[in-house]
Amino acid sequence: MQATPNIRAHPVPNIFTALATSAALLLLCAVMAYWTWAWLAPDTAVITPEAAAPQTTDAAKQLFGGSAQNPLPATASGPVVRLTGVAAAGNGESYAVLQIDAGRAITVREGADIMPGMRLLQVMPSGIAIERHGRRETIALPEKK
């Protein structure tokens, strides 16, 4: 019976193999993270008030006995508030993510002031209700595309 010689592999190729495998794994993770963020990120297109189609409530007014005569002005005075998301818990711990005048996003708790003269009254799963200078306004969540 012949004995096989005990040949030990050199440790340097094992180190290079481990480093190459680690680098390939990091590259794969980076590529997957980039494409996940690119595909799942929310749309950043901002609709300006001039480009948005005016919404009328004439039909709704007539349903409840009102008239379409002398409608309220369609534009509200003050900054443009854009609703980007809600977290509606229903127990007073609800929050809304808002963007004021195309600035950075802020998080506001239900019942708190958004800015002087503007308060977040209610957070609902489909939108929010705010009070702007004594007038109640409802802002709906944008539809997903």
Span 58-89, pLDDT tens digits: 666 656 555 555 444 444 567 888 888 888 77
- Residue whose pair of structure tokens reads 């109640």 in the numeric block: 136
Edge-to-edge strands, sheet with 105-109: 81-87, 95-100, 105-109
Is the CA virtual torsion 36, 38, 39, 41 positive or negative? positive
Q: State residue 75's pLDDT score.
A: 46
Q: State residue 33's pLDDT score.
A: 94
CA distance 118 to 82: 13
Q: Is 99 exposed, middle or buried (0-12, 13-18, 19+ CB in 10 A)?
A: middle
pLDDT of residue 73: 42
DSSP letter string, 38-103: HHHSPP-----TTTSPPP--HHHHHHTT--SSSPPPSSPSS--EEEEEEE--SSS--EEEEEETT-
What does the pLDDT profile of the chain (145 residues) look like in tens digits? 566 666 665 666 788 899 999 999 999 999 999 999 888 887 666 555 554 455 566 666 656 555 555 444 444 567 888 888 888 776 668 888 998 888 888 889 988 898 888 999 988 888 899 998 889 999 988 887 6
